[in-house]
Each structure stands twice: as structure tokens, then as C-alpha cells.
Amino acid sequence: VYSAKSGNDPTVTLSGQYFGIKKGKVYLSGNGLADPKRCKVLSWEMETITLLAPKRIGAGTYDVQAVNKAGQGTSTAAFTLLP
């Protein structure tokens, strides 16, 4: 995962490489979360994933993990949700 853009919109776009064409799962972690929170994936392409941030998380900076059958990738402090 190279970058994640959102602001205060719950729709997030992840940019990177080699996500594959098979839809996988995306999790947010860090920023005081006890457990990683799964996001709803709207679309999954080779270099872009679009998702909805979980509803019950607060403003802050999160780690992003994208996982599918081909593998996984994590980007630390890649996503900031604004209040």
C-alpha cells in the first residue's frame, strides 16, 4: 500500500501495486484500537482499492492492511480520518 486518501469522507482509496484482481479484505489497526477493524471493500483492482472506513472508529491515523489469497501488504500510519 503506497497511500490512502480520505479526509472526513468514509470512502477511502488505497493506491499501490500488485493487489491482484481477486477481491480481498482490508483492515485498519493502530490508534488505540484493541483489534483490527475490517472495512467494506467497494472495488478491488490491480493498483487501487476503494473501501468504506468502519463507522465506529474515531479520528486519527491508522495502519492499513490489504489481504487476499495472493498475499498481504501493510502500510504503517497510512490513513488519517479527520473529525
Could you tell me which residues are beta bridge partners of residue 21?
none
What is the distance between the alpha carbons of residues 49 and 41, in angstroms, rounded to a whole number?
7
Total-model pTM: 0.83
What is the distance between the alpha carbons of residues 13 and 59, in angstroms, rounded to a whole number?
17
Per-residue pLDDT of the chain in tens (83 residues, 90 and over written 9): 544 555 556 788 888 888 888 899 999 999 889 999 999 999 999 999 999 888 888 888 889 999 988 888 888 877 787 77
- In the chain, how many H helices and how many E strands? 0, 7
**Which cell is 60 given?**
486519527
